[in-house]
Every structure is written in C-alpha cells, then in structure tokens.
Amino acid sequence: MAAPESGDGNNGAARMVTLISSDNTRFEVEAAAASLSQTLQLTILDGGGGGGDGIPLPNVDSATLSKVLEYCIKHAPAAANGGAPNATAVDRAELERFDNEFVNIDQSVLYSLIMAAHNLEIEGLQSLVAKKVADMIKGKSPMEIRRTLGFPDPTPEEQAEMNAHMLEYGWAYE
Amino acid sequence: MDAACTLAPPARDTPQPVKQISLYHCASAVAAGGVRRSSMPPPELLEENYEEILLRFPPDDPACLFRAALACKRWCRLISSARFRRRFRECHRSPPLLGAIRCQGTGTRFWPASAAKELALRRRPRRLLRD
C-alpha cells in the first residue's frame, strides 16, 4: 500500500482526514490542521483517518469539535512554520485578535473546549482557554470563585473552616 | 493512550454526511451549539483541567493563588502539592514572590506581595519570602 504523504500539502491538494464526533457527525479537515492535536498526529502519520474511514472521537461532541477545528485551521499555518519565527507582526496581531474573540464565549463551551484540548493534547488551545478561565476568577474572593465556577455551597464544616481562615488571613477575603 | 483517540470501529456502517470544514461552517455550528447549551450547567472539569487553569494565574500576584486555595479543599491540596509548585515555576520561569516581612520597633509584620510592591518602593524589606 502506498503510504500517503504526511499531510504537508506540498504535493498538490492537501491531504484530508475525517474526524467523527461523539454524536456521529463527520468532519473533513486538512491533516495539517488536525495534526495540531498530538494524539491525532500519531494516527494521521500512520495513515489513519483518510478515505472512507474516520477517526472516532467518542469524548468530543460536534459543537465542541467544530470549535476546536476552527482554532486548528487558523493556527495550522503558523504551526507548520515551526512556531512561526518568520511571521510578521501583522500575522501575529491577527492571530492574537482571533484568539481574543475565540474565547469570548459561554462558560460551558469554555469548559467543553478545555476538556477537548486536554483529551486531544492541543497545547496552544488548552493554554488559551485555561488563561481565559483564570482571568475570569483571578481577582475574586474564595466565595466569588465558588459562585463563578458553579461549585456547590460550602458545608457547615467548610464554612466554619473558612471563617477561621478569614480571622487569620482577612486580607485574602477582601 | 487517551480515550479520546481510541481507534474503535465506527458505531454505524452506514455512511454519515461529511461536513466540509470551513470557517463559516465552524462559526455557524458553534453559534447554534452555544444557543443550545446556554441553559445547560457547565460540565464537571477534571483535576487536570483545574490544574491547567490555576497554572495560568499571574505569578506577580500570588494572593490570587492563596484565595483560590481557600475556595475549596480540593484546590487547596492541588495548589499545595510539590508537583503544582514545580509546574508553576516552570510555567512562569521565576518563583512567585509571596510577600515581605517588615521588622518594626513594635514587632514584625507580613506584607502580602501586592502591598509589598508599594512597601519596597519606600523601604527596603529585611527579608523576602519566596516559594
């Protein structure tokens, strides 16, 4: 069997791979974009995901996968240039603008994205989303953090512990 | 290997409609998904996901980490662990400045980092606390 080119896109049309979300939606995307995922990269290098076969992703639903792929498609050219050392300031500013808009989304979508990025080992996406969630909670008090992230209310024991801490480290609760 | 990439056979043999990805398609699909999900509670994150979030706290204001550690016991254990402290240093290249101890005539007082910045401008602290 002739081994396909490893998705560099330098032999005419770029190689495409098919990804199948948990709700059985098939997504066809360039191998170079999907290869931003470290786990998918190994499968793609082995020739998987092409033709009629797809790569099943049982932990990622279609809405999340399409968002993940939106990020991968945008960042694939820069990643192909080895971290884009030759990228112009305009390119970098454009990517930065894209990233800022990309994470301006509902909290539940952010959570789905961070889980998908962790599962698929997409370092850049994981870092981007984690930074966004960190920014959402970094200036808040412990109780505000709990409310922001949807944690259940503290038990009476936990509340008593927090009150004791508050006496000692009041500045942390300001 | 991660479960997300398990090479299980497709659930159905019948061909599924293929979506050709384009930026337009992605934007519209996510917009639809966002509307659908807006009423759903956020999914439960794993410990590793929370670790990635806490690692991105600003190193120049470790009070943020302190507050986060007080938010719940799980985070307190996570932030106190040697693994987290090592990763935090690697992530930010320098150990976080926790604060300064200022010796005064009447005794000593701990100044947290954000206040210590102002203190350092006025007086030289006797000792700095690092991680």
- Judged by average pLDDT, the poorest of A44-53, A86-95, B93-102 is B93-102
DSSP string, A88-150: -HHHHHHHHHHHHHHT-S-HHHHHHHHHHHHHHT-HHHHHHHHHHHHHHHTTS-HHHHHHHHT
Task: Kindly list the structural domains of chain A, giving each domain's residue range(s) and its CATH number in brackets, ordered by start.
Answer: 16-138 (3.30.710.10), 144-174 (no CATH)
Q: Is A7 exposed, middle or buried (0-12, 13-18, 19+ CB in 10 A)?
A: buried
Per the document, the length of chain A is 174
Mutation to test the B interface, candidates A42, A44, A46, A70, most B Cβ within 10 Å: A70
**Interface contact flag, B68 A137, Cβ < 8 Å:** yes
For residue B71, list chain A residues with Cβ-Cβ distance below 8 A. Answer: 142-143, 145-146, 149, 151
**Interface contact flag, A59 B3, Cβ < 8 Å:** yes
For residue A107, list chain B residues with Cβ-Cβ distance below 8 A. Answer: 42
Closest approach of A53 to chain B, Cα-based (Å): 8
Q: How many Å apart are CA A166 and CA B126, to the nearest integer? A: 27
- Please give the residue of chain B at the shortest CA–CA distance from A68: B26
For the cut 90, the answer to whether the pLDDT of residue B52 exceeds it is: yes
The pLDDT of residue A1 is 40
Q: How many Å apart are CA B101 and CA B115, to the nearest integer? A: 11
- pLDDT of A46-82, one tens digit each? 877 676 678 999 989 999 999 999 999 999 888 777 6
**Interface contact flag, B57 A107, Cβ < 8 Å:** no
- Decide the pairing of beta strands B97-104 and B127-130: antiparallel
**Residue B104: pLDDT band with limits 50, 70, 90:** confident
Number of CB pairs, chain A paired with chain B, less than 8 A apart: 183
ipTM score of complex: 0.80
